[in-house]
Every structure is written in C-alpha cells, then in structure tokens.
Amino acid sequence: MKARESQGVDLHLHTNVEGGEWELEKLVECTAQKGIGVIAVTDHNTMENVGPVASLARPHGIRVIPGLELDLAFQGKYWHLLLYGKNPQNEHLLPLLERIHLSNELSAHLVHEEMLRRGYDLPPFEVIEALRPTTHVADVAQALADKGYASDALAGFAIIDGMRLTYELDLPSNMVSMAEAIEVAHQDGLLAILAHPGRAIEGAMEIASEEELKGMIEIGLEGLEAYYPSHTQEQIASFLKVAREHKLFVTGGSDSHGPNHRLPHPWPAGLCRRFLEYWDLTI
C-alpha cells in the first residue's frame, strides 16, 4: 500500500474502552472526513477494538495499525508506552495485560480510599469496580463527575492529579515496569514507542529528560511519539535529535479520546516515514 507524503496519519487514537468515548463508527467517520488514511487504535491495556475498527475503516480506504497503550513505571515515575504489533493475541502480552489490569485496580482502590478519607462522598469501591470488566483510576475520576465534584472524567482526573495522589500514594511502586513490558513486546514482535514524551500533567506525568530517554533506550525503547498536539517546536526538535542519534522510529498522534476531547489530527505521513515503511506503507 502507498501513502502520499502529505496524506494524514494519526497513530494514537482511543475508542470507547478503558476511559475512551469514541463510538467506533463515529471515530472512523471523523478520521475519513479529516483525510486521514492511516490510523492506529491504541486503547489503554487492550486491543479488543482493533479488529472492529479495521473492518469499519476498510470501506473508507483507511489502513488500521494494531496497537495499545500501557500504563507503566520507570525509575519511580508513571509513563505511557505505545506498543504496535500485528497479532493482538500475543502469547506473552496477554499475561502482562492481566498484571497491568490488577495494578490499575489496586491504584484505583488506593485513590478511592484516599478520596473518602479527604471527605469526598463517593460510592463504595465495589460499586465502581462492578461497572466495567477492568477498573482504573479513570473510574474514580468518573465517579467524582457523577457526584458533581467535576464536570466530566477529565475534570475528575484534574482533582486527583492536583492532590498529587500518583506520588503521594506511590502508585508507580505497584505498576509493571517498562523494562518488563519492553521485554515482552520484543518476545512478541511488537514495537515499543514512548507516548507523548513532552507532555506534563502536574502531579502525574513529567516531561522525559534526556537521561530518562537514554535509560529507556538502554532497555530497548524503539521510538518516540515526537509529534503530539501539546509538544512545542523546541521539544519536537529535541526528540527528533534523540531519534536520529539512536536510530529510533518517530511517530505522531493526537491521543484523541472522544469527540468532546481532542479530535484526530492528520499528521503528514512523511513525518513518520520509517515507521510507516515498517508496516509496508511506502511513501
């Protein structure tokens, strides 16, 4: 398959699982309207909607690259790692995802307990836990919205992050390590790309330093999501320099979670040339 250099690609999209809000048909329609010809479905810790989106996208001539985004720890901090691979039922990946789901459930439980201790009137954790097959801090954020403390789940997250609960409760100590996740990715032939290395969320995520990036590269990181809506031109230039020096893949994505969040973004295919060529997409 060929892609024009200027054709739009978005390699970081979320559907309606694990905190996302996009209905599958609406997501495909939106990307088609924006002239995006290549997308990657990268829901948190699951690939269950990759196949359905690919089926819906095919009539529009949109290529779907299978992916997912993992919640992980590295050097005592919280990070997101994008994995891209052809087989969603990878032998080693599924047990890893189960462990990530368990660590996320524990994190949600700890955050819920702390919110109760601080006087927030939330449902019992068993009620929150019963809402979905897997539980995440996002569900506590949604509970804050449901109780009127926040306008929506994103605003609920802002309350949690404002309390620095990720680090006050030392949630990274319970998370699966990035080193283990990358090792599993390589066993199953998946590419490991660091998501939004230049995004900072006060109390939760920090911008990746050069030393941290070098440490991740040493454990097998293969690429950087250099192109991201909140990255500055200076950040992009810095990440591209690291990518050149270490022969890393470069990707671009919107991280869209729903129609009321950030919409898909048509990054020019030429910016991600080497990554697309890995998927037999010539430019």
- Ordered by where they begin, the domains of the chain are 8-90+191-278 (3.20.20.140), 98-172 (no CATH)
Cα–Cα distance measured from residue 249 to residue 240, given in angstroms and rounded to the nearest whole number: 9
Mean pLDDT of 82-95: 80
Which pLDDT score is estimated for 261? 81
Residue 39: pLDDT over 60: yes
Which pLDDT score is estimated for 89? 58
| DSSP code for 207 | P
Cα–Cα distance measured from residue 274 to residue 134, given in angstroms and rounded to the nearest whole number: 35
Give one word for 35, left, alpha or beta, with left for phi > 0 and alpha for psi -120 to 50.
left
Residue 88: pLDDT over 60: no
Element (H, E) at 82: strand 77-84
Which pLDDT score is estimated for 164? 96
Percent of the chain with pLDDT over 90: 84
Cα–Cα distance measured from residue 228 to residue 206, given in angstroms and rounded to the nearest whole number: 15
Type of residue found at 273: R
Cα–Cα distance measured from residue 159 to residue 176, given in angstroms and rounded to the nearest whole number: 25
Lowest mean pLDDT among 76-90, 141-155, 170-184, 202-216: 76-90
Which of the pair, 21 or 183, is modelled with greater confidence?
Answer: 183
pLDDT tier, 249 (very low <50, low <70, confident <90, very high otherwise): very high
Kind of pairing, strands 267-268 and 63-74? unpaired
The angle at the Cα of 50, spanning 45 to 56, to the nearest 5 degrees, equals 150
Calculate the alpha carbon distances from 87 to 51, 123, 228 in Å.
Answer: 10, 38, 26
Cα–Cα distance measured from residue 116 to residue 159, given in angstroms and rounded to the nearest whole number: 13
